[in-house]
Structure 1
Amino acid sequence: MEQTLFSSDFRLGILGGGQLGKMMLYTTRKWDIQTYVMDSDDTAPAFEGCTVFFEGDIMDYEAVMELGRQVDVLTIEIENVNVKALQDLEDEGIAVSPSAKVLNLIRNKATQKKFYQEKSLPTAPFEAMDQPDVNTSREFPFIWKSAEGGYDGKGVKVIRSAADLKDLPAAECIYEDMVDFDMELAVIVARNAKGEMKTYPVVEMEFHPEANQVEYVICPARIPEEVSKKARDLALKVSEAFDHVGLLAVEMFLTKSGEILVNEVAPRPHNSGHYSIEGAVTDQFEQQVRCVLNLPLGSTDTVLPAVMVNLVGTEGHTGNVVYDGIEEILAMDGVTPHIYGKKQTRPFRKMGHVTIVAKEIEKARELAEVVKGKIKVVALAG
């Protein structure tokens, strides 16, 4: 009889204890799978839902090796991990998903962009730099991106003149052409070790103009069917090029001329798939668990049109968090808030999200606007 994953001694390790880890634990708790989670913060969102919590730095080689040697399969919820440790664990026979090779291609944006170039995958023209150069001959405006460490809008800046380059970190980066896009899209691809692959529907993303964070994710995207097929086909090509196991969120630009360009990818559950908890037959977090444990993939079909609203800390508020207006939105049909469990808020910190489902996508989008106006993430007064 083969080893069972359920109600057994099998152990799944997760590097990172943030909200993505927490939401993966919804599935492992449902299926009674043991989970070992590592994070440097013992108040991390995934602390309470796992079987064993390790307080440790996921960038620390020895800490990752110690955790990895105690589990059967190891996965991540964030790319900023010690990849050398993952490679060594793979060499010792531990199943690591995504692999160290895939993470090395993705976590550095310059390496990632060069990969698209090598594989003839459409992407915006770019230039890789050892550090910002104020004497650039590149035409303004363009986009500066830090090669490593950027997330949630950090590490990205519009460069409108040479003066904008002066205070940037003296580290590896890319200069990227600004794309005249009509819409930002994303497709999540699921792939298990058997090579079984599925794509989720194309979603449309609307961004906050200042924080450069996603404000709304709309599923399905309001695009023609032929554009949707083109985006899903491109996402599959990207997935096949990386040869990954797990989820791959492929962010794209739909240009005004109808071209689709790959912007960047994330090899894990992603903000663009949060809607799937209420909006899809199989949510992205369960799908990630299915992928890394080499289980059959679940249906990616949409149950109802859905819009996801990010809950982020309000400007000017730092301290113990209060979700002002949450009871009002709980009284609304089709509205489900998800609170990540971070006790301290600060401006633009991701603190939760809300899913709005309706029979028609335009109705869901209208309700999302109302929800956003009713709930605020603020700090406790006093």
Structure 2
Amino acid sequence: MKGEVKLGILGGGQLGRMLLQAGLDFNLYTLILDPDENAPCKDLCNEFYVGNFRDFDTVYEFGRNCHILTIEIEHVNADALEKLEEEGVKVYPDAKTVRTIQDKGLQKEFYKQHNIPTADFRILKDKQELQENLSFLPAFQKLRREGYDGRGVTRLASEADLGKAFEEPSVLEKLVDFEKEISVIVARNAKGEVSAFPMVELSFHPEHNLVDSLFAPANVSEVLQQQAKEIAMRVISSFEMVGILAVEMFLTKDGQILVNEVAPRPHNSGHHTIKANFTSQYEQHLRAIMNLPLGATDIQSAAVMLNLLGEPGHDGEAAYDGLQDALAVPGVYIHLYGKKFTRPARKMGHVTVLGESLEQAQQRAESVKNVIKVKAL
């Protein structure tokens, strides 16, 4: 790297915060754009701007001051990214990839065009077209745009569920009889070097439909782990994407691996890598977008990651109970996201629990998972 590198990040939430923490080791000059004046990144970057990352002019003017521009959320203005690319700013992921991933319909069609295994689906314009596809149920209906952390997704078992169906353009995705939900984080730099982290197993919150915990390594055969890794590498290579990509997949009961969705940024399913792997997903993303050699992804320790969510009935300035008791357990590491205010089910932090074996990490995680409570003052 020659001279000071100005890295711009669209989004100042917890993913941006952990990206900034990794960026300190590279002497990066960092700029953040976020609509929240109290965003977790506010006091950690060199320059912080309050603004809408969905607005063309705001993103364009922000990006003009950067050598490299990246994202920590995919719901950004892709037209502005494209113009910045044309003017010589290195934008990772590129506008074309962001546009495809922003639209779940385009994303599913992309998998089909590139022979990437995924669940059967239908593209729907409106609720009337859903009526014409009742024979396809049971299925999940997903809004084509703006779905995030379980929002914009509804399960339709039969015609009786049509009352909760979406009116807007959507994807109807065949219900998969899966054994496990899994994820592989994969990275690619501009030289085309690709490297994947070991597969993890995901557990989802039954009410909020977001990741509740994960287990690393996943408890599956070496053959299936390798197969999932190869699929993830094929996905990022098909996009010709530079950066880090989270590939969420289903392992079906008959042993198939199907791609569910992807996220072109650091992801909840890679938080544990900060403590458990030789290279974290955040450092790997920086290495990729700066076109540096990718780091070793090997596991140093088995791990369980627990999300810390705002407690039900608590809305206001955040307070944390149980930190001392949790930290008294060996192998427990707490990461708080610097969010000033909590609300029910808001992601406020995560806990990584390490062990000499996955069983030991799981036992330790079980002893602390209900100890920490995020409440309002």
TM-score class normalised by the smaller sequence? over 0.9
1:98-177 mapped onto 2 (5 Å cutoff): 98-133=93-128, 135=131, 136-177=133-174
- In the alignment, does 2:180 pair up with 1:183? yes
For residues 291-330 of structure 1, what are the structure 2 equivalents within 5 Å? 291-330=288-327
Among candidates 18, 21, 25, match of residue 26 of structure 1: 21
Report Cα offsets for 1:18-51 as digits up to 9, x if no partner: 1000000012222221001100112101111111
The structural deviation recorded for 1:128 is: 0.7
Within the alignment, does 1:203 sit opposite 2:169 as a pair? no
Corresponding residue for residue 252 of structure 1: 249
Contact 1:29 1:49 in 2 (8 A): no
Task: Tell me the residue number matched to 2:281.
Answer: 284
Contact 2:216/2:358, CA 8 A, preserved across alignment: yes
Q: Secondary structure at the match of 1:84?
A: helix
Aligned-residue RMSD, C-alpha: 1.2
**Unpaired runs of at least 5, structure 2:** none
Q: Which residue matches 2:36?
A: 41
The TM-score normalised by the length of structure 2 is 0.97
Decide whether the 8 Å contact of 2:193 with 2:294 is kept in 1.
yes
- Percent identical pairs in the alignment equals 47
TM-score by length of 1: 0.96
Q: Which runs of 5+ in 1 are unaligned?
A: none
CA distance in structure 2 between the partners assigned to 1:341 and 1:302 by the alignment: 27
Alpha-carbon offset, residue 238 of structure 1: 1.0
**1:9 deviation in Å?**
3.2
CA distance in structure 2 between the partners assigned to 1:265 and 1:240 by the alignment:
13
AA aligned opposite 1:291: A
Question: How much does 1:71 deviate?
Answer: 0.8
1:376 and 2:368 matched: no
Q: Distance in 1 between matches of 2:58 and 2:167?
A: 29
Distance in 2 between the 1:247 and 1:80 partners? 16
Cα distance between partner residues in 2 of 1:163 and 1:42: 44
Q: SS where residue 7 of structure 2 aligns?
A: strand
Alignment partner, residue 12 of structure 1: 7
Out of 175-184 and 152-161, give the one that drifted further. Answer: 152-161
**DSSP-derived class of the 2:155 partner:** strand
State the alpha-carbon separation in 2 of the partners of residues 208 and 131 from structure 1.
29
Cα distance between partner residues in 1 of 2:313 and 2:67: 45
Tell me, yes or no, if structure 1 residue 335 matches structure 2 residue 332.
yes
Contact 1:75 1:97 in 2 (8 A): yes
The alpha-carbon deviation at position 362 of structure 1 amounts to 1.1
State the shift of 1:139 in Å: 4.0
1:162 positional shift: 3.0
Q: Which residue of 1 aligns with 2:349?
A: 352
Q: Tell me, yes or no, if structure 1 residue 269 matches structure 2 residue 259.
A: no
CA distance in 1 between counterparts of 2:32 and 2:161 reads: 40
Secondary structure of 1:81 counterpart: coil
Contact 2:329/2:364 (8 A) holds in 1: no
Decide whether the 8 Å contact of 2:195 with 2:294 is kept in 1. yes
Question: Residue 64 of structure 1 is aligned with which of 59, 63, 70?
Answer: 59
Structure 1 residue 138 displacement after superposition:
2.8
Moved more, 139-148 or 99-108: 139-148
| Counterpart amino acid of residue 142 in structure 1 | A
Q: Give 1:241 deviation, angstroms.
A: 0.9
Q: Report how far residue 157 of structure 1 moved.
A: 1.2
Q: Which piece of structure 1 moves more, 274-283 or 28-37?
A: 28-37
- The worse-fitting range, judged by mean Cα deviation, of 163-172 and 77-86 is 163-172
| Structure 1 counterpart SS, 2:370 | helix
Amino acid at match of 2:180: M
Secondary structure in structure 1 of the residue aligned to 2:318: strand
